[in-house]
Amino acid sequence: MSNGFEQIHTLSRDGVGLTVQLSNEDRLPRLVHWGADPGPVPPGPYGSSALPLLPLQHEGWAGRPALAGDREGRFPHPRLRLTTPVEFTEHAMTVRAADPQAGLEVVCELTLSAQGVIRADYAVTNTGPGIWTLSFLGCFLPVPDEAWNLLEMTGRWALERVPQQRPFHLGAHVRESRRGRTGHDSTTLLCLADGELRNRTGQVWAAHVGWSGNHEHSAVRLPDAQGALGGGELLSSGEIRLDPGASYRTPSVYFAWSGCGLDGIRDRFHRFLRARDTHPRTPRPVVLNTWEAVYFDHRLDKLKALADAAASVGVERFVLDDGWFGARRDDRAGLGDWEVSADVWPDGLGPLVSHVHSLGMQFGLWFEPEMVNPDSELFRAHPDWVLADPGRLPALHRNQLVLDLSLPEVHDYLLARLDALVTEYRIDFIKWDHNRDLVEAPQVHRQTHAAYHLFDALRARHPGLEIESCSSGGARIDLGILERTDRVWTSDTNDPIDRQQIQRWTGLLLPLELIGAHVGPARAHITKRATSIEVRCATALFGHAGIEADLTGFDPAELAVVRDWIELYKRTRGLLHTGRVVTPDGIDPAASVHGVVAQDGSHALFSYAQLDSALPQTPMRLRIPGLLPQARYNVATVLGPEHDGAVSITGRALETVGLPLPRLKPAEVLVLEFTS
């Protein structure tokens, strides 16, 4: 029996297929398959084994409905029917449906990119009388029964994106973020695999909600329905109240499938992001950020000496961090007063900016526009500008409150101050920070859109300006913020051992050129762990590289290593920021191995980091996949201990026999270069 569903259409691209079963009546289509391109699929009685495009109770779905809301308690269960035939283009489909009695219209758009990434964008419009209150609108795709192993990430400040796995059985697994920003503990990607999670083999299905406010990711499997993976914005009670004719649009939800493990997910998202019109195209400059060099101690002579040292080793962008404005001598005062401090900078920032530019470097500046200290001239003048419920302020966090960016006067004030400073000092780069959760914050949805609007307005005035998304480190990393920024600050820790894992798992979504990675001091500010300059350089190489340390205190030998490392980065960033990330399987769990291989296979860099003591006593052989089997590669150590490895070896031999390596001590890193 067909149950009215007979027509089949498959969107297919780059080895991925999304198969849709269409109704001969006016019911919503059902999603039969998402995964490997199945080729032609005949109509069949898929019934409950196919997922409704919008899983709702009237479609037989007993889980949380994908669309939820009410009209003053009425019509909590919409009954959507198609209003026009499903529209297909070669790689996209649009579904228009309505429930006239409930007074709702819905549009669902699914687009399959050239890289095999599916982008889902849904919208609901109130077509009835009075207010319709939206509780949830989510985007979901089907996953098969064999997708039983769940991978998610969690974390905390200075230790973001820690992976954790668990079996995925019947029921719902939901990851919520109610922090008003993406969150240090955000899962970033929610993944399902058809067996043991591996880097190079096996099927993986992944979803990412591209939103910088409250959100959720979920995986659901019911006894009588197809499994589903997806998510959407997490809305507070009464947050979205649609007037007649008003609409709500979901944040984009992104889906990727891989038939070759986690590296396949990485590859799809990296190619997808690199294909954006807004993706950075120029070589990613070497950065020096002043925070862990001087903190709040801003003295012109010291900063000019730091700039001299930076230029001498090849730094290309000098960024002045927190402490240059208002009464900002510590983190308890001054936020919101975006005027250069006359006490610290009696002649303004001009002398430092001119000195930096005279050395051939770009100049960048730190801001935290969305926040305010109660001890500030701005708060004393405008306490009503704080994002708060009437009559009471939310709890302080990090001595900060949040400005309500949706107020036109707040937006105009911040845009005017940012615009004036960028113009006056010819600023090339902004480190845009966001150092607290939005606790007890009303209207996070509105605040998030207002923040996006402020980013967009500043970029419109200064098209060449580059912006970094920083949020206590890595608490605002998502594809919503990356539509308007050029890189992220991955974590506030520069400890290279922790950074090995943080950067690796951030890279499941983001390519290396978007991941800020800096060489910190010998003893890490946060963990207090001491590491060698070689280890710090080797870790920061695999990202958008920079320095966050006082170079004026480095000895000549350390400066020589930094200078050579910067030369290596400049020579290889064309590879690192365009190549494919390759992560071998079967590595000692106390080690981390990853690399980047050029798209044509002619060039590669691989890092082997010993994070802890290895159990085996014998030296390991590094087996490297992803190279051209018949090509012969010259192997050179470019960072780390020298070794007596093969001088010339084929790609096939590298993958099957491997390369003998020296036994590394804990907190040692070896970087190898392969050229054919």
- Look up the CATH number of the domain holding residue 141: 2.70.98.60
How many domains does the chain fold into? 3
> Do 512 and 657 sit in the same domain of this protein?
no
| Domain limit, last residue, from 576, 594, 627 | 576
| 538 and 495 within one domain | yes
Regarding whether 225 and 304 lie in a shared domain, the answer is no
Question: Does 194 belong to an annotated binding site?
Answer: no
* CATH code of the domain in which 301 resides: 3.20.20.70
- 280 belongs to a structural domain: no
Where is the domain boundary, 560, 576, 592?
576
Q: Is residue 282 part of a domain?
A: no
CA distance 467 to 459: 9
* Alpha-carbon distances of 539 from 542, 544, 670, rounded to whole Å: 6, 11, 10
Residue 352 domain-assigned (yes or no) = yes
24 in a labelled binding site: no
Residue 585, classified by CB atoms within 10 Å of its CB into exposed (0-12), middle (13-18) or buried (19+), is middle
- Cα angle 51-55-59, degrees, rounded to a multiple of 5: 85
Tell me if residue 206 falls in helix, strand or coil: strand
Of 550, 576, 602, which residue is a domain's last? Answer: 576
Q: Do 554 and 595 have their domain in common?
A: no
> Residue 482 and residue 332: Cα distance in Å, rounded?
29
Q: What is the CATH number of the domain that holds 665?
A: 2.60.40.1180
Whether residue 608 is found in the same domain as residue 538: no
Q: 134 and 31, same structural domain?
A: yes
Domain presence at residue 281 = no
Say if 114 falls within a structural domain: yes
Give the per-residue pLDDT at 1: 39
Same domain, 163 and 31: yes
Q: Which of 433, 437, 478, 495 is catalytic?
A: 433
Residues 528 and 608 reside in one and the same domain: no
Q: Examine the domain organization and report whether 526 and 590 are in the same domain.
A: no
Which pLDDT does position 502 carry in this prediction? 98
What was the pLDDT predicted at 4?
66
Residue 271 marked as a ligand binder: no
Give the residue numbers spanning the domain of 649: 581-675
Write out residues in the chain with pLDDT < 50, as ranges: 1-2
pLDDT score of 463: 96
Decide if 308 is catalytic: no
Residue 283 resides in a domain: no
Residues 258 and 313 in one domain: no
Give the residue from 557, 64, 478 showing the smallest Cα distance to 273: 478
Residue 435 lies in a domain: yes
- Looking at residue 668, what is its pLDDT? 94
Q: List the one residue out of 604, 622, 520 whose CA is nearest residue 287.
A: 520
Has 433 been labeled as part of a binding site?
Answer: yes
Give the residue ranges of DSSP H helices in 241-299: 261-274, 291-294
- 432 appears as a binding residue in the annotation: yes
Output 73-78 pairs: Cβ under 8 A, ≥24 positions apart: 74/102, 75/99, 75/101, 75/102, 75/103, 75/104, 78/102, 78/104, 78/106
On whether residue 43 sits in a domain, the answer given is yes
**Same domain membership, residue 270 and residue 132:** yes
For the question of residue 389 being annotated catalytic, the response is: no
Nearest CA to 608 among 566, 662, 567? 662
- Is 603 one of the annotated binding-site residues? no
| pLDDT > 70 fraction of the chain, expressed in percent and rounded | 98
Measuring CA to CA, which residue among 184, 292, 286, 310 is closest to residue 571? 286
Q: Based on the fold, state whether residues 193 and 293 are members of the same structural domain.
A: no
> Is 435 marked as binding a ligand?
yes
- In this prediction the pTM is 0.97
Catalytic pick among 267, 404, 492, 498:
492
